[in-house]
């Protein structure tokens, strides 16, 4: 691991303030009537709210101002190249379907990379006021004045595990869906829903597994440092890095992660 | 409708205080390690936490003290008969699977009936501090110092609807599951998860439909007055009263409710 070319001691508190400010924008649209566009021309329903666009525009502008040499990669605005190895990854509202349904299980994601090395990740839920952060300095949940160390559940086997996944419709083709269902058939409890909130509950030690597909890089990259710093393992379907998205296996511990990959590889 | 044999003007604020106090008990167990029992000998995983039992014991004791002539019906403690027509219905923690997973989409339910007439219903979510209440006095969401009138979405057709259901495994047999899927195939957006929280989002005008099966009376009765007072319709699969549970169709408006029952009756 190369030395980060940025001092996270100052950067992380700045990011938290930024997300809290952006959270006010998101909350101004939460549970209010708003125009819901359909990003895809046809097929799957993928709402993009004005909140999504405004939150990302706010974050991009602030990050560009304070870190002009960093690239910025966001769901709405695409890639703005930088002159350093550092790049910010933004998902302004992860879980837009939960957002439009009024549920609090969405979140705002912000991550920082140096090349392919993940330096830090953050999830902020402005309705509940929960801020999850992970970096080499550790993984924490801040809630109001409280700070709690995040720690995944250790020693849970597949048969004892709680598995989350946002929705089965996210699996790309029958093989990937069958792989998910093989895992789902062997756990103690399988539930749908959750989006980024489920990954944070994995870091908090409440959930043991999240298995999802067709993730975008910004859906998952900011969550990986939180889970890893809490003791969990996140990879793609082949056990490689998951920061580019696709089929992702997040597990509370390494033994459970191996069990899941073995089940996925069965035919 | 006969005149209620109880003055709700005083009773409802008392109930809110009671639920807030009981919420402290629930929160003392939320996101902490606790023994999760398996209520069923084998088969489906149905956790009952100590929180569940303690919350219900607290509510039963307080209700019995203040309303000694009322019956009390609860998930954990069964039926305590009363000498009047009035009965309290308690689900101490609706959404225990969300609770043990750390998600905030569970709630504490309390309802009041006079014979089969539903007088009032309440849902309290202590982590977010949201209190939903419905009676002939109207339907409201109290959140901190804010009070918001609950109003379901009017004029939404089935093709435009957002449909929630906790999990497909709740459907009793292939016919009921097929009926649910016929509805799910025609909506704009279908999501799983939510438990009582989804019904409250229906009352808040964010979700249009909840279709579920194998509900117990205490899972649904306290939610019906909230939804009805907000402009929604809740019935069983045949269009009859839903307060005894079973297959339940909750819809944001009467036209949408008719559309769903028609689709359910197709073969």
Please report, in tens digits, the pLDDT of each residue of chain A (267 residues total). Answer: 567 788 899 999 999 999 999 999 999 999 986 444 444 444 444 445 788 999 999 999 999 999 999 999 998 889 999 999 999 999 999 999 999 999 999 999 999 999 999 999 999 999 999 999 999 999 999 999 999 999 999 999 999 999 999 999 999 999 999 999 999 999 999 999 989 999 999 999 999 999 999 999 999 999 999 999 999 999 999 999 999 999 999 999 999 999 999 999 997
Lowest model confidence (mean pLDDT) among B45-54, B136-145, B187-196: B45-54
CA distance A120 to A11: 10
Mean pLDDT to the nearest integer, B132-156: 96
Chain A contact for B14 (CB, 8 A cutoff): no
Q: Which residue of A has its CA nearest to B208?
A: A101
Chain B contact for A207 (CB, 8 A cutoff): yes
**Looking at residue B264, what is its pLDDT?**
96
- B163: which chain A residues are within 8 Å (Cβ-Cβ)? none
Secondary structure of B76-92 in HEC code, one letter for each residue: CCEEECCCCCEEEEEEE
CA distance B86 to B141: 25
**Looking at residue B32, what is its pLDDT?**
84
Mean pLDDT to the nearest integer, B213-228: 97
CA distance A157 to A209: 11
The C-alpha of B16 sits at a distance from chain A's nearest C-alpha, in angstroms, of 21
Chain A contact for B34 (CB, 8 A cutoff): no
Chain B contact for A186 (CB, 8 A cutoff): no
CA distance A51 to A25: 7
pLDDT bin (cut points 50, 70, 90) of residue B44 is: very low
Q: In whole numbers, what is the pLDDT of chain B averaged over residues?
A: 92
- A160: which chain B residues are within 8 Å (Cβ-Cβ)? none
3-state secondary structure at position B209: strand
- A105: which chain B residues are within 8 Å (Cβ-Cβ)? 103-105, 193
* Cα–Cα–Cα angle for B95, B52, B112, rounded to 5 degrees: 80
With a cut of 60, say whether residue B157 has pLDDT above it.
yes
With a cut of 60, say whether residue B223 has pLDDT above it.
yes
Chain B contact for A265 (CB, 8 A cutoff): no
Domains of chain A: 8-149 (3.30.540.10), 158-264 (3.40.190.80)
**Looking at residue B2, what is its pLDDT?**
61
0.90 surpassed by complex ipTM: yes
**Looking at residue A99, what is its pLDDT?**
94
CA distance B69 to B84: 5
Q: Which of B113, B99, B118, B62 lies closest to B195, judged by CA?
A: B99
Chain A contact for B144 (CB, 8 A cutoff): no
3-state secondary structure at position B31: coil
List, for residues A51-88, the tens digit of each pLDDT value: 899 999 999 999 999 999 999 999 888 999 999 999 99
Contacts 24+ apart (CB under 8 A), B84-89: B84/B5, B85/B5, B85/B114, B85/B115, B86/B5, B86/B6, B86/B112, B86/B113, B86/B114, B86/B119, B87/B112, B87/B113, B88/B63, B88/B112, B89/B113, B89/B217, B89/B218, B89/B221, B89/B222
A-B C-beta contacts closer than 8 Å: 83
List, for residues B59-81, the tens digit of each pLDDT value: 999 999 999 999 999 988 899 99
**Looking at residue A267, what is its pLDDT?**
74
Cα-based distances in Å from B125 to A104, A137, A180, B230 = 12, 33, 32, 19
Q: Do A201 and B103 touch (CB under 8 A)?
A: yes
- A194: which chain B residues are within 8 Å (Cβ-Cβ)? 103, 193
Q: Return the C-alpha torsion angle B188, B192, B195, B200, nearest 10.
A: -20
Cα-based distances in Å from B129 to A218, A256, B106 = 31, 35, 12
**Looking at residue B76, what is its pLDDT?**
86
* Cα–Cα–Cα angle for B23, B25, B26, rounded to 5 degrees: 65
With a cut of 90, say whether residue B243 has pLDDT above it.
yes
Q: Do B128 and A45 touch (CB under 8 A)?
A: no
Chain B contact for A38 (CB, 8 A cutoff): no
Mean pLDDT to the nearest integer, B136-143: 96
In which element (H, E) is residue B171 found? none
CA distance B262 to B82: 40
**Looking at residue A40, what is its pLDDT?**
45
CB atoms within 10 A of CB A227: 27
Does the reported pTM lie above 0.90? yes
Chain B contact for A88 (CB, 8 A cutoff): no
**Looking at residue A43, what is its pLDDT?**
45
DSSP-assigned letters across all residues of chain A: -PPPSS-HHHHHHHHHHHHHHHHHHHHHHTTS----EESSSSSS--EE-HHHHHHHHHHHHHHHHH-TTSEEEETTTEEE--SSSEEEEEEEEE-HHHHHTT-S--EEEEEEEETTEEEEEEEEETTTTEEEEEETTEEEEEETTEEEE--PPPS--GGG-EEEES-GGGS-SHHHHHHHHHHHTTSSEEEE--HHHHHHHHHTTS--EEEEEEE-HHHHGGGHHHHHHTT-EEEETTSS--TT-EEEEEESSHHHHHHHHHHHH--
Classify residue B44 as exposed, middle or buried by CB count within 10 Å of its CB (0-12, 13-18, 19+).
exposed
Phi, psi of A216 (to 5 degrees): -90, 160
With a cut of 80, say whether residue B164 has pLDDT above it.
yes
Lowest model confidence (mean pLDDT) among A177-181, B14-18, B29-33: B29-33
Helices A254-265 + A174-184 axis angle, to 10: 130
């Amino acid at each position: 691991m190369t030395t980060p070319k940025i001092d996270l001691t100052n950067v992380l508190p700045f990011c938290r303030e930024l997300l809290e400010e952006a959270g006010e924008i998101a909350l101004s649209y939460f549970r209010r009537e708003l125009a819901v566009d359909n990003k895809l021309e046809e097929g799957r329903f993928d709402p993009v709210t004005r909140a999504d666009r405004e939150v990302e525009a706010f974050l991009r502008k602030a990050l560009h101002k304070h870190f002009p040499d960093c690239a910025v990669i966001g769901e709405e605005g695409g890639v703005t190249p930088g002159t350093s190895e550092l790049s910010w990854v933004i998902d302004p509202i992860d879980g837009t379907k939960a957002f439009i349904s009024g549920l609090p299980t969405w979140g705002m994601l912000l991550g920082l990379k140096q090349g392919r090395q993940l330096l830090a990740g953050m999830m902020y839920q402005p309705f509940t006021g929960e801020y999850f952060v992970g970096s080499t300095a550790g993984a924490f949940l801040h809630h109001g004045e409280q700070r709690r160390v995040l720690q995944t559940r250790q020693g849970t086997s597949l048969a004892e595990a709680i598995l989350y996944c946002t929705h089965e419709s996210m699996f790309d083709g029958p093989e990937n869906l069958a792989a998910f269902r093989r895992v789902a058939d062997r756990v103690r409890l399988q539930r749908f829903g959750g989006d980024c909130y489920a990954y944070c509950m994995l870091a908090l030690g409440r959930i043991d597994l999240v298995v999802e597909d067709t993730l975008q890089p910004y859906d998952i990259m900011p969550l990986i440092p939180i889970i890893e710093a809490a003791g969990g393992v996140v990879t793609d379907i082949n056990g490689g890095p998951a920061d580019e998205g696709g089929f992702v296996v997040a597990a509370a511990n390494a033994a459970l992660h191996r069990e899941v990959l073995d089940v996925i590889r069965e035919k």
